[in-house]
Amino acid sequence: MPTFRNLSIHWKLLWVKMLASGTTLLLICAAFVFYDRVTFREVMVRQLAGQADIIAVNSAAALLFDDPSSAAETLAALRVEQRIIAAGIYRTAGQRFATYERQASPGTRMLPAEFGTATSGYRFEPEQLVLFRPIVGGGETLGTVYILADLHEIQQRLSRYLGIASLVGLVSFVLALWISSRLQRRIAGPLVHLAQTARGVSAEKNYALRVPINSQDEVGLLGEAFNDMLTQIQWRDTALQQANDELEQRVIERTAQLEAANRELEAFSYSISHDLRAPLRAINGFARILLEEHAPDLSEEAQEYCHLMRDNAQHMGQLIDDLLAFSRLSRQPLSKQPVVPAELVQQALHDLRAMQEERHIDWRIGALPPCQADPVLLKQVLVNLLSNALKFTSQRQVAVIEVGCREAEGEHVYFVKDNGVGFNMAYADKLFGVFQRLHRAEEYEGTGVGLAIVQRIVHRHGGRIWAEAVVNQGATFFFTLGGETEHA
């Protein structure tokens, strides 16, 4: 059942009207009924008292001359009065003298056999009025007239009133419905329209809708305010949309510019790397020809310079190769798959067998749990780290190189540990930069790209890399591969 709160304003107005008019009607009816009841009783008592008095006067002689049948005839005159159901004449001592009953019944049950000393008065009983008047003659009280009247008439009047009231109520309900449907257009109509517009606006996000304003009352003001609000929202919405569009356009433009610049840069570096190789090859080639075919013509010193020229040209070629590999790394797509790191370690050691010749190396390969990674790139990481370890332990009588994994904070941390020259931890942050070297090239060969490549691969996997070292005691490189917990 819908509560009053949720009713439409149209029905609310109707209810208010009905309640007001209904209450008024009810109160008026109640007042009328009350008034009528009171006056009706008064009038009834007065009329019956008058009739009783007439009976009293006309029955005095019958009482005095002891003639009950004459008194009964006098009482029988009450037949014209519908309300009187019984009447009686009593002597002063209380004995019944004569009786009358509208509907003859055996005995006289309605009238008391004796009537007390009270000679004038009346009382209302639930359905009857009892009235008694004295019979006076010659200055003496001779007896009492006793009348029993029916009060059904009051009930009839009451039900008639109720009937009229409910009829009027029905008519006023219909009238109120009719008036309300007329007034709805004036009062509830604009409100309903406003509500519909508001719902439309919020449902369709259509801020171009407007409420028609027909009046200057509160509803009209509400409508105007609503329209103003819609205008502002619409204006802001448009501005916001424009700003958004502009921003998007700018982002697209910038992205395109950046992509173009990036492409240019890559093409540039690639072509440069490529183009640089040709002159290098030429320098290297001609230096070799000089050494091979014109060695007799050259002095010892000139031959030495030619060797230096070739070495540097080759070194530069190596640098360019590494640079190209590094830049290729960022363009290559990453293909993650389940790998067994232990196998990759073996492959890396096989690749690095040249560096192990004539070396005394104590390999300590621990358990390496399987993981999710790009096998080619992970092997590259291992090759770089292991070659570093081999390189920086070259001075040791016995090189100890450990490969392992340990569990820390829910992730697998792989490490490669050596007992090489180590490095100063103060420069730890420079380790992974391109072309960054902590040792002189004369001591340890290399281009300084290796660790940069390792870091890039680890980062592309979503992992971390760091190192710990003590000078002349060794270094340890740790790395994690992101998403390892999935395979833990």
Partner 1 sequence: MALVTRSRRIDCRGQWLSLLLAWTLINGLLNGPLTAAALTEYEVKAGFLYHFGWFVEWPGTTDQGRAPAFTIGVLGTHPFGSALDDIMRGKSIGERPVVIQYYQRVEEAVSSHILFISASEEKWLPAILSELGEANVLTVSDMERFTERGGMIALRLAGQKVRFDINMDAAERAGLKLSSQLLRLARVIHGPRPLRE
Q: Is 63 a residue that touches partner 1 (CB under 8 A)?
A: yes
Figure out which of the listed residues 44, 60, 401, 457 binds partner 1, where binding follows CB under 8 A.
60
Helix, strand or coil for residue 176?
helix
Q: Are 323 and 449 in contact (CB under 8 A)?
A: yes
The DSSP letter of residue 216 is S
Q: Can you tell me the distance from the alpha carbon of 102 to that of 150, in angstroms, rounded to the nearest whole number? A: 11
Q: Is 4 a residue that touches partner 1 (CB under 8 A)?
A: no
Q: How far is CA 395 from CA 133, 315, 387, 450, 477, in A?
A: 151, 23, 14, 20, 19
Q: Is 112 a residue that touches partner 1 (CB under 8 A)?
A: no
Question: Residue 66's closest CA among 111, 100, 97?
Answer: 97
Figure out which of the listed residues 10, 29, 41, 68 binds partner 1, where binding follows CB under 8 A.
68
Q: Among residues 67 and 81, whose Cβ is nearest to partner 1? A: 67
Figure out which of the listed residues 138, 296, 333, 410 binds partner 1, where binding follows CB under 8 A.
138
Q: Which stretch binds partner 1 (CB under 8 A): 69-77, 99-107, 249-257, 377-385?
A: 69-77
E strand or H helix that includes residue 307? helix 300-331
Q: Is 78 a residue that touches partner 1 (CB under 8 A)?
A: no
Q: Are 385 and 454 in contact (CB under 8 A)?
A: yes
Figure out which of the listed residues 3, 4, 5, 66 binds partner 1, where binding follows CB under 8 A.
66
Q: Among residues 59 and 480, whose Cβ is nearest to partner 1? A: 59
Figure out which of the listed residues 53, 67, 150, 321 binds partner 1, where binding follows CB under 8 A.
67
Contacts of 426 (CB under 8 A, 6+ apart): none
Q: Is 245 a residue that touches partner 1 (CB under 8 A)?
A: no
Q: Is 61 a residue that touches partner 1 (CB under 8 A)?
A: yes
Least gap, CB of 138 to partner 1 (angstroms): 5
E strand or H helix that includes residue 145? strand 140-150
Q: Among residues 58 and 318, whose Cβ is nearest to partner 1? A: 58
Q: Which stretch binds partner 1 (CB under 8 A): 54-62, 80-88, 177-185, 299-307?
A: 54-62
Q: Can you tell me the distance from the alpha carbon of 343 to that of 349, in angstroms, rounded to the nearest whole number? A: 10
Contacts of 316 (CB under 8 A, 6+ apart): 276, 280
Q: Is 53 a residue that touches partner 1 (CB under 8 A)?
A: no
* Token output for 403: 């490969």
Q: Is 69 a residue that touches partner 1 (CB under 8 A)?
A: yes
The widest CA-to-CA distance across the chain, in whole angstroms, is 195
Q: Which stretch binds partner 1 (CB under 8 A): 137-145, 169-177, 257-265, 330-338?
A: 137-145
Q: Is 8 a residue that touches partner 1 (CB under 8 A)?
A: no
Figure out which of the listed residues 13, 44, 62, 368 binds partner 1, where binding follows CB under 8 A.
62
Instruction: Report the site for partner 1 in 91-110 (rule: CB under 8 A).
Output: 91-93, 95, 97
Q: Are 198 and 205 in contact (CB under 8 A)?
A: no
Q: Can you tell me the distance from the alpha carbon of 303 to that of 310, in angstroms, rounded to the nearest whole number? A: 11
Q: Which stretch binds partner 1 (CB under 8 A): 59-67, 238-246, 264-272, 282-290?
A: 59-67
* Token output for 456: 């890039």
Q: Which stretch binds partner 1 (CB under 8 A): 5-13, 61-69, 257-265, 465-473?
A: 61-69
Binding residues for partner 1, total number by CB under 8 A: 21
Contacts of 136 (CB under 8 A, 6+ apart): 56, 60, 142
Q: Which stretch binds partner 1 (CB under 8 A): 136-144, 171-179, 298-306, 351-359?
A: 136-144
Q: Can you tell me the distance from the alpha carbon of 88 to that of 59, in angstroms, rounded to the nearest whole number? A: 11
Q: Which stretch binds partner 1 (CB under 8 A): 86-94, 326-334, 423-431, 435-443?
A: 86-94
Q: Among residues 64 and 151, whose Cβ is nearest to partner 1? A: 64
Q: Is 303 a residue that touches partner 1 (CB under 8 A)?
A: no
Q: Among residues 137 and 448, whose Cβ is nearest to partner 1? A: 137
Q: Is 351 a residue that touches partner 1 (CB under 8 A)?
A: no
**Residues 50-88: b if buried by 16+ CB within 10 A, e if exposed:** ebbeebbebbbebbeeeeeebbbebbeebeeeebbbbbb
**Residues 166-195: b if buried by 16+ CB within 10 A, e if exposed:** eeebeebeeebeeebeebbeebbbbbeebe
Looking at the DSSP assignment, which residues form a beta bridge with residue 408?
A: 411
Q: Is 136 a residue that touches partner 1 (CB under 8 A)?
A: no
Write out the residues near partner 1 by the rule CB under 8 A: 58, 60-70, 73, 91-93, 95, 97, 137-138, 140
